[in-house]
Amino acid sequence: MRIKINAVPDSPAFPEQVDVIVIGGGIIGTSVTYELAKQGVSVALFEKGVIGGEQSGRNWGWVRQQNRDIYELPLAMRSLQRWEELSSEIGSDLGFRRSGILYGTHSEADVARWETWGKQAKQIGFVSHLLSAQEVHKRLGDSAQWVGGIWSPTDGRAEPSLAAPAIAAGAQKLGASIHQRCAVRGLDVSAGRVSGVWTERGRVRASQVICCGGAWSSRFCKQYGIELPSANILGTAFKTTVAPEVIQGCLSMPELCIRRRLDGSYTVAVPGRGQLDLAPQNIRYAAKFYPMYRSKIAKKLKLRLNGSFFNGPEAAGGWSNHAVSPFEKIRVLDPKPDRQILDEALRTLVKAFPALEGIKIDHAWGGWIDTTPDLVPVIDEMQSVPGLFIASGFSGHGFGIGPGAGLLCAQLITRQQPFTDITPYRLDRFAKGNAIREPQMM
């Protein structure tokens, strides 16, 4: 693997029966497992590869409320609370720090958009601060191009290599059962409702199952007639060598995003840049993604045709619960980073911050980002398959809002009053005849 993730030991005993089964060991799956275990629910998590091995260990490490879709903001705000609480609850450092997030822009349109968003966000209870060109100059150095910015001091950052593994370990301490390199091949359905799952190690009984499979969720759900529109976008990022501090927290500029890491290096990425494969799943849901394709969000994406047409999370075809599944054939999605993006980003970084002259790429990676047509996740219970829940399509936002999403999912599963209205997250918003919102603020 091109990333380094803290290892989590498997639970010693393989369960025969639990109350809830969680599919997927990313930040969402581990957070759901932790919140359920905290409530005393008998829960088992199954991960086909390793905890945090896919996008939850490959993201930028931003924990933000700023510039979230307004529908997503309550989830982000609750997540920030959980991020702050989790380290002390679990007794392990997740790398979370409220060090603030700064956006700078060369565009008056961005400033106007941020101002409008800020007024809406303030009504929900989140406050950020618009910055003048001079204030951005003061924070980032001289540049005749800055026209403004926005600063959110209560936002933060965390370490992807630490977070999901620490949360999984915390769930284990509370009695959760964790099993890696153990794919869930499919559901066990009796009398029309979920009665468990079939793993590669056999059947495990449960009355409720939640699919938190990230890039793999849509293909899994298709086996049961559930249409989960998802496009997996390949992103590229890298870790630098240790270098002088030019920003304490996170910074977003039109051509670059950076995060200061605990070890004194940076995580660097280019916003909006990525690749989209011409694969059966993307072709199938192309009409639903049309609003996104026509927006400026898609203008930086490159289309390509490669092996994913026949293999991986976006391929077509079914399988049996009693034979090797696609999830066992590819334990961890570990795509190659885009070399062109790496080279451009490193040059841009040094140009923007001359103090970083001589900085190098320590290691780089690619990651598949499961994306919905409106860039808002699906968190819902499936009426067509009673007992099945979905938490997927987090569109690159999952790391930051994962703890809040985990809490919300646990509340749905245990029939508690959810802390926020789940209507914006329901799957049926993409049903035929429903208007699909254009993607909002990234």
Domains of the chain: 20-100+154-430 (3.50.50.60), 101-153 (no CATH)
Half-sphere exposure of 373 (CA within 13 A, CB side): 25
- Which residues neighbour 432 within 8 Å (Cβ) at sequence distance 6 or greater? none
End-to-end CA distance of the chain: 28
Phi, psi of 151 (to 5 degrees): -130, 130
> Is residue 33 within 8 Å of 180, Cβ to Cβ?
no
Per-residue pLDDT tens digits of the chain, which is 442 residues long: 789 999 999 999 999 999 999 999 999 999 999 999 999 999 999 999 999 999 999 999 999 999 999 999 999 999 999 999 999 999 999 999 999 999 999 999 999 999 999 999 999 999 999 999 999 999 887 666 899 999 999 999 999 999 999 999 999 999 999 999 999 999 999 999 999 999 999 999 999 999 999 999 999 999 999 999 999 999 999 999 999 999 999 999 999 999 999 999 999 999 989 998 888 998 899 889 887 777 656 667 887 777 666 789 999 999 999 999 999 999 999 999 999 999 999 999 999 999 999 999 999 999 999 999 999 999 999 999 999 999 999 999 999 999 999 999 999 999 999 999 999 999 999 997 665 666 665 4
What does residue 348 show for φ and ψ, rounded to 5 degrees?
-65, -40
Length of the chain: 442
Residue type, 431: A
CA angle 103, 271, 97 (to 5 degrees): 55
pTM of the model: 0.95
* Alpha carbon distances (Å) from 319 to 3, 106, 209, 370: 30, 51, 19, 22
Query: Cα 426–30–169 angle (5° rounding)?
Result: 165
Beta bridge partners of 235: 367
Enter the DSSP assignment of 97. Answer: B
Q: Please list the residues that pair with 390 across neighbouring strands.
A: 211, 380
What is the amino acid identity at position 394?
Answer: F
Contact 164, 52 (CB under 8 A): yes
Contact between 251 and 353 under an 8 Å Cβ cutoff? The reply is no
